[in-house]
Structure 1
């Protein structure tokens, strides 16, 4: 179920997203009886699935990755790369794996879809996630859906639990960034057409640019210190959910509700 993507992929393209997932979801993966992660729409080559396995196993050694592609030829080409903990399957948004995965990652998949289709895809994928476990305090699985540039310097992604959207994360190689609003071109489909006056994501990027400008004196200490200072300014007015440890990685994560498009319903 779904549409064949262009399949563009490059080694190491999703490293920023992978590192964030390993940090944010490591506990859920370690505690799960069946720690399965799905790389949905991995593209014309299997690099992102291979790399996801290695990065997640640094946080959860028992994790297994299933690469899922809707184009049969891509699945056949990936099969020689199967190994312990890594398999490839033909399929799409139905997520053809047994049970409920702890992670579904869909990177650069929905860019070719219409904005009106996003909510339905999110709802279908969230319904496939491992449920929350109140007894252990687990929040359930995670859908990570977003977009990055061709070599992974700039990312924006939404993280969704079984209940719906939770957060939006902006991540960049800071040395290549002129201003935070440069990330606007990598907004996921749910947000990219909403970067206009009157929408929350537009106001957020405007305020981020202002905080970046106000933090210019810190540029003499490097782009990282300037970013950290700008995010501190930003956090006074926006619900930033992470802290300096993640900011140092060139990230900032904000609650979804603060950036959600006006007049559009999403799962949750």
Structure 2
């Protein structure tokens, strides 16, 4: 689904999947942080959906393990969920099909997001897919996927490291991108700014002075450093205090301590959008809860 050597999202005949093959790197539990978020802040979206909601794992890679895990986790909330793994590489699809069962299918496809039997997905999770595209292609990819969503649907465009200790994702709906979530494994964390290397494609090149995401990570690192005295009480307490300080400084932090204690921070997209505020979230006209 991603690319090497200049991928494109140009229109192609409808019988061909839209996109190109990614490296396919994956590992068990790599996307657990995003799955936990879908079952946390996004649980209401799943609960209020009609019967048999469809969730798509777009570009699941060389192994279907993250798709299988997604299905198992979502069934704890919606036993009737239908999970579809979509991959552009036919060999990957063929290798995954022996794992199919009730509510779990694997199909060949790309950004056109095919759903067996028809219907539109409520959620599309696309991790480490757009990372390999050009930044200029991100809006077209978002638009293509969002156009396939069910009413009230959600695209999650994210990136994470090889074992899922660092992750970041953008929540995109028909209204456009709404939030950026950053997630860390707190044990052994030296500074929150290390997540910069895992920012989604829309932001990875924007971590420079003058951009909102750079200002956010700088503010978070500074707050984390100032809370060093709390390290003796545990990394969780130190991180929560740092996020609270960032929120109190005016950054539009969404959610509260129950998410921060998990090593998770979500901010409104306007504060970090490319070309947006370059000092504090308060400059974007937002206040945290």
The alignment covers a number of residue pairs equal to 255
In structure 2, how many angstroms separate the alpha carbons of the residues matched to 1:162 and 1:84?
30
Deviation of the 1:79 alpha carbon: 0.2
* Partner deviation per Cα, 1:183-216 (whole Å, 9 max, x = no partner): 0000000000000010110111000001101111
1:26 aligns with 2:22: no
Structure 1, unaligned stretches of length 5 or more? 132-139, 264-268
1:8 aligns with 2:25: yes
Match of 2:126? Answer: 106
Question: Do the aligned residues in 2 keep the contact of 1:39 with 1:66 (CA within 8 Å)?
Answer: yes
Deviation of the 1:3 alpha carbon: 1.1
In structure 2, how many angstroms separate the alpha carbons of the residues matched to 1:60 and 1:250?
25
In structure 2, how many angstroms separate the alpha carbons of the residues matched to 1:30 and 1:86?
19
1:5-154 to 2 correspondence within 5 Å? 5-33=22-50, 34-97=52-115, 98-131=118-151, 140-154=152-166
Deviation of the 1:60 alpha carbon: 1.7
Runs of 4+ residues over 3 Å off in structure 1: none
1:209 aligns with 2:221: yes
Root mean square deviation, CA, Å? 1.0
TM-score (norm 1): 0.93
| Equivalent residue for 1:257, pick from 254, 257, 270 | 270
In structure 2, how many angstroms separate the alpha carbons of the residues matched to 1:90 and 1:176?
39
In structure 1, how many angstroms separate the alpha carbons of the residues matched to 2:211 and 2:29?
33
TM-score (norm 2): 0.86
